[in-house]
Amino acid sequence: MTDLTVGTRQRIEAIDRLRGLVMILMAIDHVRDFFSITAFAPEDLTQTDTGYFLTRWITHFCAPIFVFLSGVSAWLHQGNKELSAKELSLFLLTRGLWLILLELTVITFFWQFAYNFMIMQVIWAIGWSMIFLALLVFLPRQVTLLIGLAMVFSHNLFDGLSPASFGSLGWLWNILHVQTFFNTTPMGFGLFVGYPLIPWVGVAAVGYGLGSVFDQPETERNRSLLILGATTVGVFLLLRGFNLYGESGVAPADAIWTDHGRGVWFAVMSFVNTTKYPPSLLFLCMTIGPALLLMPVFERMGGPVGRFITVFGRVPFLFYILHLPLINLAATFYNKAIYDQWRINFFNPASWPESYEPSLLRLYVVWALVIFVLYWPCKAFMNYRKTHKQWWLSYL
């Protein structure tokens, strides 16, 4: 989600293009929330179909790549700006606090057009990842990498711990490792911890620890990325194939892939149906591994497609800030026109109009329109950043 790589050196186009692609994919999931939500979770293989499962599954790549690239970008930003560890730490600290503040205020409001409860999602996780990195940048890069890998690989060992295990500090375990909705808080409104922080902060540390790979000449860098990507995918295939380790579940059986009594294709979908909240080791390997393999392809991608997705990758935060109110506003007017209701809580099936039916066609039409509309302000801001270097541009 972050773009810290502007500097004197030539940009790594693969980063911009990969980031742009996942921004575009992310909008699919958010349009689904407002225009084509279902009474069942799209990843629930006992109820879903192929279309809804893949529509949800393709967006799984977004958050891990956002967070991983935030760590990579922090490394590149330090080199580009020739910052000391102290200067980088202060920048990451202030930017992290800024992102958390925006998540809890502006972005929370854009999701609801109200303020019924605070939302802690991907921007929240990236903000805390930057604050965590602000401490780690004083350590040798290799140590930061090891700390990040330890968090990513070991956190599933603690899946059996419930908030109740920590007594009065159970709320802290919710923030760190258990997705939770608190109906009330001392402040008088609810709180949704959508992105528990572990292991997201570890993913950013891994990105920072691998940042030196992106300092290599292009040919050498691409070779390193292919090796890293193939290794990560190999770890996923080995651990998932034999159900050895790395997937979350209330009971051990929940972490095992199966056909759910629906045939071979559903066994295939089950194989890649890994846990996102919090992201299991297998979820992270499944998403980050292929992204690393694709980066050499993105480096060579030119033409209209390459230029198009680069626009969103150059100004990812602006796109994020704009797409939520646009989708919400469009849904508001659509609901009034079709159902004669200004506000519909589609996260509560009991409030759905009788005539409502989910539609993938409607979802993808609206998604394409959202991307088309936002391309132009994103392109204008991208061009503005090319010719302006004010300090506050690093925070947008």
pLDDT of res. 2: 53
- Check residues 252 and 223 and name the one with the higher pLDDT: 223
pLDDT(6) > 80: no
In a domain? residue 176: yes
pLDDT of res. 5: 47
In angstroms, the CA 359 to CA 354 distance is 15
Question: What ranges in the chain are assigned the alpha helix state H?
Answer: 13-35, 50-57, 62-81, 85-102, 108-112, 122-136, 141-154, 170-177, 200-209, 218-241, 264-271, 281-300, 303-314, 316-339, 360-387
One-letter amino acid for residue 208 of the chain: Y
In a domain? residue 4: no
How confident is residue 285, by pLDDT bands cut at 50, 70 and 90?
very high
CA angle 242, 248, 250 (to 5 degrees): 115
Total of domains in the chain: 1
> Model confidence over 335-348: pLDDT tens digits?
999 999 888 887 78
In a domain? residue 248: yes
In angstroms, the CA 344 to CA 258 distance is 36
In a domain? residue 186: yes
Q: What is the mean pLDDT of the chain?
A: 92
In a domain? residue 2: no
> Model confidence over 139-196: pLDDT tens digits?
999 999 999 999 999 999 999 899 999 999 999 999 999 999 888 666 667 889 999 9
pLDDT of res. 349: 82
In a domain? residue 8: no
Tokens of 162: 């419930």
In a domain? residue 119: yes
> Model confidence over 24-51: pLDDT tens digits?
999 999 999 999 999 999 999 999 999 9
In angstroms, the CA 221 to CA 226 distance is 9
In a domain? residue 323: yes
> Residue 308's domain spans which residues?
13-395
Whether 92 contacts 137, CB under 8 Å: yes
pLDDT of res. 7: 43
